[in-house]
């Protein structure tokens, strides 16, 4: 019988079994997404050699087209995993504008099939033991001595019992291995991260796209509050709000295990929502459903969707038993509609967009004077108007004054609205210079809503202003992990690394920012500064 073998690589405390798709640290499994595993396998196999980006993309994503940002995000995750799990975070070297090189000390071995050896001859029969190191084929050619007839007769009488015991043992071994394989399989497919993509509006009211975004935001808030899986914040999915997109491609770009995709169709008094939960690794639809409700019951509809998604993923919306803040909400459908539109225009950050956001957030507060989230949206809009000095809308001083008052009102109405603390911190930092107060508000915002990349980036910039550059870079990376497709966050990391005089890494991040948004003036400007320091001003 020919010996079967497979490649196994060992480096540091890690063991990579490519054929079995196992990645172990000191014998314990480490969870990797399928594409992340594939990237690691390619780099380790080519240890010490440059693997160009195009070659890596073609090998790992041979069946589809993806942006280079998907590769860079997976490389970032690999570095983090290798470092967190006891290894060296610098196993993977970036070769600027070319690709990546694995530079650890790799030991390669072949794991062969298990062969039997004779361990003991007994009256009941022959017991076998597995031996991976068996290297004497002659050992099996020597039969046991033939006993005298009485013993032979005794052995024959005991043969059925011996066979039964051996079969029972074999069955037990098969069951154990099967269950282990099943557990490994479940582990490999476990959903740990989710992106709720903007629900697309169809039908005669298709221009009301912000309504779909509002439903998306509510679902994100509800699922994220449970704290059982990582849910991408609304800010990370804004880019898909007013464009056609492929859910699987979006999920890969965001680096999540699954996406929730849906459509909203509004009639005069009713609403139809169609949703599906899709696993990114293989495109399998884990759950899909259609709901028809009166539009006045839209809040109950949001609860139904969130509850069903959570049960499909194996948890309940009560979370893990820790106290959590309630989901901010209004009971006014009109206020909810206005808030959803305000959220849509707030994200545009342009002067025209912020002007429209003001209109809708103000309308929301008029429909419901106790709607804390709407006041928080109004506060952040005024803060941005002051920061960008959109003087045609309001003088900066007046914009900041209104922002602080609205943020404080939102907090007084509902202290669980993280965005209100984020907005007030912005005013304290850039208007009144209250750095300590700003830091207190931002830490409170992050405590309430850990996956808010806006709060984390602003906190990073506040730390930078205090000269705490290493802390700032760490917090900015946390923001980027939440929202990997943000050119603003990526550019700011590049700028911080530039200030630290780590020009090679700074250049890498600014180029990544331009891959995400080629029109980013900030990324272009900072890249120019970096290239001058590197003596590459002509590039």
Given this model, what pLDDT does residue 337 score? Answer: 86
Domain boundary among 110, 141, 176: 110
Given this model, what pLDDT does residue 234 score? Answer: 86
CA distance 116 to 140: 9
Q: Which of 4-8, 54-58, 230-234, 299-303 has the lowest mean pLDDT?
A: 4-8
In a domain, residue 366? The reply is yes
Given this model, what pLDDT does residue 417 score? Answer: 92
Segment of 2-6, 277-281, 361-365, 445-449 carrying the highest mean pLDDT: 361-365
In a domain, residue 539? The reply is no
In a domain, residue 538? The reply is no
In a domain, residue 318? The reply is no
- Which stretches of 347-415 are DSSP H helices? 351-367, 372-388, 396-413
Q: How many domains does the chain contain in total? A: 4
Q: Are residues 372 and 229 in the same domain?
A: no
Q: Quick one: angle between helices 372-388 and 333-346, nearest 10?
A: 20
Q: How confident is the model at residue 127 (pLDDT cuts 50, 70, 90)?
A: very low
Q: Are residues 103 and 139 in the same domain?
A: no
CA distance 26 to 30: 10
Q: Are residues 262 and 291 in the same domain?
A: yes
Given this model, what pLDDT does residue 164 score? Answer: 53
Given this model, what pLDDT does residue 180 score? Answer: 44
Segment of 43-47, 139-143, 303-307, 440-444 carrying the highest mean pLDDT: 440-444
Range of the domain at 58: 5-110
Q: Which structure tokens are listed for 93?
A: 């070297």
The residue ranges of DSSP E strands in 232-348, in sequence order, are 258-266, 270-279, 285-294
Q: Are residues 182 and 291 in the same domain?
A: no
Whether pLDDT at 206 is above 60? no
Give, in order, the Cα–Cα distances in Å from 168 to each of 117, 121, 161, 171, 480. Answer: 20, 19, 10, 5, 54
Q: Could you tell me which residues come within 8 angstroms of residue 171 by beta carbon, excluding any fewer than 6 positions away?
A: none
Give, in order, the Cα–Cα distances in Å from 44 to each of 9, 72, 91, 102, 103. Answer: 8, 17, 10, 6, 8
Q: Are residues 205 and 239 in the same domain?
A: yes
Domain boundary among 82, 110, 138: 110
Q: Are residues 356 and 490 in the same domain?
A: yes
Whether pLDDT at 377 is above 90? yes
Q: Which structure tokens are listed for 428?
A: 């304290």
Given this model, what pLDDT does residue 210 score? Answer: 64
Q: Are residues 169 and 255 in the same domain?
A: no
CB atoms within 10 A of CB 388: 15
Q: Are residues 142 and 72 in the same domain?
A: no
Given this model, what pLDDT does residue 139 score? Answer: 36
Domain boundary among 189, 214, 237: 189
Whether pLDDT at 451 is above 50? yes
Averaged pLDDT, 211-231: 81
In a domain, residue 224? The reply is yes
Averaged pLDDT, 39-46: 91
Residue 219 and residue 213 in contact, taking contact as beta carbons nearer than 8 Å? no
Give the tens place of pLDDT for each residue, 245-260: 788 888 988 889 999 9
CA 388 distance to own-chain centroid: 31
Whether pLDDT at 1 is above 80? no
Given this model, what pLDDT does residue 110 score? Answer: 60
Q: Are residues 263 and 293 in the same domain?
A: yes
Averaged pLDDT, 414-433: 93
Q: Are residues 291 and 375 in the same domain?
A: no
Q: How confident is the model at residue 361 (pLDDT cuts 50, 70, 90)?
A: very high
Q: Phi-psi region for residue 278, left (φ > 0), alpha (ψ -120 to 50) or beta?
A: beta
Residue 328 and residue 322 in contact, taking contact as beta carbons nearer than 8 Å? no
Given this model, what pLDDT does residue 519 score? Answer: 84
Averaged pLDDT, 288-300: 83
Q: What is the CATH number of the domain that holds 347?
A: 1.25.40.10
Q: What is the CATH number of the domain that holds 306?
A: 3.40.50.10070
Q: Are residues 287 and 340 in the same domain?
A: no
Averaged pLDDT, 315-339: 67
In a domain, residue 175? The reply is yes
Given this model, what pLDDT does residue 356 score? Answer: 95
The residue ranges of DSSP E strands in 134-266, in sequence order, are 193-196, 200-202, 230-231, 258-266
DSSP state of 136: -
DSSP state of 77: H
CA distance 393 to 412: 27
Whether pLDDT at 14 is above 70? yes
Given this model, what pLDDT does residue 510 score? Answer: 94
Give the tens place of pLDDT for each residue, 135-194: 333 333 333 443 444 434 444 455 455 555 555 555 555 444 444 444 443 444 578 889
Q: Are residues 503 and 390 in the same domain?
A: yes
Averaged pLDDT, 18-30: 83
Whether pLDDT at 500 is above 50? yes
Q: How confident is the model at residue 130 (pLDDT cuts 50, 70, 90)?
A: very low
Q: Which of 4-18, 68-82, 169-183 has the lowest mean pLDDT?
A: 169-183
DSSP state of 156: H
């Amino acid at each position: 019988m020919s010996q079967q073998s497979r490649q196994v690589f060992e480096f540091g405390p890690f063991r990579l079994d490519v054929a079995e798709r196992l990645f172990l640290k000191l014998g314990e499994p480490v969870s990797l997404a399928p594409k992340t595993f594939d990237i690691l396998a390619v780099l380790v196999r080519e240890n010490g050699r440059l693997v160009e980006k195009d070659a890596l993309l073609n090998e790992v994503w041979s069946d589809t087209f993806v942006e280079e940002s998907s590769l860079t995000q997976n490389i970032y995750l690999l570095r983090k995993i290798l470092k967190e799990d006891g290894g060296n975070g610098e196993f993977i070297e970036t070769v600027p504008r070319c690709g990546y090189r694995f530079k650890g000390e790799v030991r390669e071995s072949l794991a062969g099939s298990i062969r039997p050896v004779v361990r003991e001859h007994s009256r009941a029969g022959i017991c076998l033991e597995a031996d991976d190191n068996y290297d004497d084929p002659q050992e099996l050619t020597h039969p046991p001595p033939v006993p005298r007839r009485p013993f032979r007769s005794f052995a024959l009488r005991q043969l059925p019992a011996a066979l039964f015991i051996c079969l029972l043992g074999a069955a037990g071994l098969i069951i154990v291995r099967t269950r282990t394989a099943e557990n490994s399989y479940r582990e490999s497919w476990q959903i740990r991260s989710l992106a709720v993509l903007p629900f697309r509006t169809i039908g005669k009211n298709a221009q009301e796209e912000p309504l779909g975004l509002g439903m998306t935001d509510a679902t994100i808030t509800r699922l994220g509050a449970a704290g059982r899986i990582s849910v991408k914040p609304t800010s990370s999915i804004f880019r898909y709000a007013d464009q056609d997109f492929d859910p699987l491609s979006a999920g890969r770009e965001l680096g999540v295990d699954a996406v929730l995709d849906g459509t909203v169709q509004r009639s005069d008094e009713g609403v139809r929502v169609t949703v599906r939960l899709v696993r990114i690794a293989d495109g399998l639809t884990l759950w899909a459903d259609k709901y028809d409700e009166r539009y006045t019951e839209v809040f109950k509809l949001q609860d139904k969707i969130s509850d069903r998604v959570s049960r499909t993923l194996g948890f309940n919306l009560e979370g893990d038993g820790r106290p959590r803040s309630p989901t901010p909400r209004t009971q006014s459908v009109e206020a909810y509609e206005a808030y959803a539109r305000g959220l849509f225009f707030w994200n545009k950050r342009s002067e025209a967009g912020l002007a429209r956001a003001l209109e809708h957030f103000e309308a929301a507060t008029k429909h419901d004077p106790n709607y804390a989230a709407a006041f928080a949206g109004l506060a952040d809009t005024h803060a941005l108007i002051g920061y960008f000095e959109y003087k045609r809308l309001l003088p900066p001083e007046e914009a900041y004054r209104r922002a602080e008052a609205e943020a404080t009102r939102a907090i007084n109405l509902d202290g669980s609205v993280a965005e209100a603390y984020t907005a007030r911190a912005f005013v304290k930092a850039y208007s009144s210079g209250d750095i300590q107060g700003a830091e207190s508000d931002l830490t409170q915002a992050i405590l309430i809503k850990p996956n808010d990349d806006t709060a984390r980036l602003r906190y990073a910039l506040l730390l930078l202003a205090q000269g705490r550059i290493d802390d700032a870079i760490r917090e900015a990376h946390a923001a980027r992990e939440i929202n990997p497709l943000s050119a603003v966050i990526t550019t700011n990391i590049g700028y911080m690394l530039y200030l630290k005089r780590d020009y090679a890494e700074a250049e890498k991040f600014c180029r990544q920012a331009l891959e995400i948004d080629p029109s980013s003036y900030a990324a272009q400007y900072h890249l120019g500064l970096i290239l001058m320091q590197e003596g590459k001003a002509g590039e």
